[in-house]
Amino acid sequence: MTAISLLQEPSTDLELPPWLQECLINQQSGGEDRDTDLICRAFNFAYQLHEGQYRKSGEPYIAHPIAVAGLLRDLGGDSVTIAAGFLHDVVEDTDITLEEIEERFGTDVRQLVEGVTKLSKFNFSSKTERQAENFRRMFLAMAKDIRVIVVKLADRLHNMRTLEHLKPEKQERIALETREIFAPLANRLGIGRFKWELEDLAFKYLESEAYRQIQALVAERRTDREARLEKVTELLRSRLEKLGIHVFELKGRPKHLYGIYQKMYRQQKEFHEIYDIAAVRIIVETNEECYRALAVVHDAFKPIPGRFKDYIGLPKPNRYQSLHTTVVGLNGCPLEIQIRTIEMHHIAEYGIAAHWKYKETGSSEIKLSSEDEKFTWLRQLIEWQNDLKDAQEYIDSLKDNLFEDDVYVFTPNGDVIVLAQGATPVDFAYRIHTEVGNHMKGARVNGRWSVLDRPLQNGDIVEIITSKNSHPSLDWLNFVVTPTARNRIRQWYKRSRREENLARGRELLEKELGKSGLDALLKSEPMQITAQRCNYQNAEDLLAALGYGEVTLSQVVNRLRDVVKEQQPVEEVETESNIEELITSSSLPNPPSTTNSKKSPIAGVEGLLYHLAGCCKPLPGESIIGVVTRSSRGISIHRQGCHNVENVPGERLVPVNWNPIDNNGRPLTYPVDIQIEAIDRVGVLKDILARLSDQNINVRNAGVKTSPGKPALIHLSIEIRDRQQFEYILNRIKNMGDVINIRRISQVDGE
């Protein structure tokens, strides 16, 4: 059945919305509207491709693209955006390629679909790495066309509306991502109507009991609240009209549930102690009338000191404008009142999409150029996301950067600089320019010298003093709050120790792959491709990052093997050159577990005396090899690639593998030694040990070496279940602000 035939023979499973029916009828009647034609062709194409597919709810899958396209239409999206709404899932869920999308619907539609399509072709070592790479791609696509994220937000909103059909664990994962990433994104773009609903829906699944309680309490007091608000609005309307102020809208509304919950949490109050759960909105015609209306409000009700904000004179970064004031309302209850113009209201509701919905009126002059000041946050995301190679650190920094709790400070020339709450003069310096931060000597705040860790306040005038002989201090990592500043400081120290990091990275790679042919490998095309897939420009940068701990050895080796496999068949790889021989020799297939696997952690040594080699201390999940020792210690178990195995004759090697559990079914733990380079301050070891304790990691031994003016060297011996847990722990510690570097260390084997 074609999409057009749905109009003649409506399906019992699918009901088309009126706007889409009208669109199809217009096309069928032979209209020459190119926009209508594009939308109808996109729907028809998506309908045919998704035919026979169903959602978890049991409804036809096409219902989801229709809903997404409808949300985009409500935002005033153009035909390209709406068409992308219909087609946003076809590349992921069907055999259609992006090239076919471009051929049928044009370059713009293809770019939007590509921007919201998740990665599926590459192998990732973890879900976090895949999630991080998807977000990187999405933000890069946003920089080219901001409509990408609007399509993605509409997609996420409809998915959240139908989340009840998924399993609880998936509901929680999607809801958490929505609250931490997509709701703040909607806020950054100023799309208020999406933000509120995304937050409430995430709240429903993450704190379901609190959600139901607040929902019931708000409904319970509805009658009393509406009666009180009606009296307030009647009083204000009468006074405003007497002064000749034309009011387009004046009404009260309850605040959204998650906002009430946050207020209760922040103020540590019960629901009955929260009075301002409703607000009154006044919409007038001009900016001047906004301030006149404010005078009327303050004359009618007593304003509460410290609760007035002028977002008209100083708009938010997402271009939100309004006057906010809180007054003592009827019965002595606090009441929030917002005053804005029609245009301000459109921007508050639709944000960056306001110029689509209201472009015909000419009332909005929003530009999509990423050079616009309101896109500063997006440009910063693009700048520092390339510096953060660790997936978890990238996700954490992304969350921190998206949450909007800003302060507004000024340069000596009067330019407004928007920074995160708690930002310091150092954050300000790096916000101006990297070199300003790198050569910062001191700062004056409001004309007086200031300590560098002083949190800036709204209205501060900040002047940065620089010197070509000055450079960043590691202590700054203890108090800077912006990802840009933190990353630039680390970058400076990485560059200043580049040779040391290169040597360390080379050493790690030699231990894993062997020394033979390593120089040729580093210059090879597979290694260059591997570096690019790890988000580095060349193999040398990748090697330095490996030495610094920005990327793990397993990530490099696994990506390298994937590249080699993609380029040539396995049988050719083994004979083509020493490079390929090197790769395949370090990835020997693991032997299958034996029937006696539960009798020993190591399969292949059942009934034999064995021990784990102290030189490399292998972990479950790592490729291992057994070596028959010349002493009475039996078989020594090494990591494949261990330098002590390089010259062992083949007849002494024993293929072995890990068994997952011991005799009693309990996971075993294995010793691992790590070295942490951290800022030398009181309590740094305690903080690191606390992170280990949170994950139930036993610390067998700990030691600290300090030298004046140098970072502290912390040596820890810990007990780990397997390689996956070890890499997770490394990332947890690495993400601490005080930690400069962390690496696994080995001892010299005495056998």
Give the N- to C-terminal CA distance of the chain in Å, as an integer.
Answer: 75
Q: Is 606 a catalytic residue?
A: no
Contact assessment for residue 72 and residue 350, using Cβ atoms and an 8 Å cutoff: no
Residue among 517, 502, 510, 592 nearest 548 (CA): 502
d(CA 518, CA 289): 73
Q: Where are the alpha helices (DSSP H) in 452-496?
A: 483-496
Q: Is 662 a catalytic residue?
A: no
Instruction: Describe the chain by its helix, strand, coil percentages, rounded to 5.
Output: 50, 15, 35
Inter-CA distances, 685 with 202, 486, 654, Å: 37, 21, 41
Locate tokens 């120290």: which residue?
A: 493
Inter-CA distances, 719 with 149, 289, 691, Å: 43, 68, 14
Three-state DSSP class for residue 218:
helix
Q: Would you tell me the crossing angle of helices 498-513 and 553-567 to the nearest 10 degrees?
A: 60
Residue among 280, 276, 256 nearest 339 (CA): 280
Q: What is the CA radius of gyration of the chain?
A: 31
d(CA 144, CA 127): 26
| Torsion from C-alpha of 201, 206, 209, 214, nearest 10 degrees | -40
DSSP state for residue 181 in the 8-state scheme: I
d(CA 114, CA 466): 44
Which listed residue (15, 33, 92, 435) is catalytic?
92
Residue among 22, 61, 65 nearest 42 (CA): 65
Which listed residue (33, 93, 572, 662) is catalytic?
93
Q: Decide the pairing of beta strands 670-678 and 653-655.
A: unpaired
d(CA 48, CA 358): 33
Locate tokens 């800022």: which residue?
A: 679
Residue among 317, 345, 142, 70 nearest 354 (CA): 345
Three-state DSSP class for residue 355:
helix
Q: Which residues on neighbouring strands pair with residue 699, listed in sequence order?
A: 718
Give catalytic residues, as residue numbers: 92-93
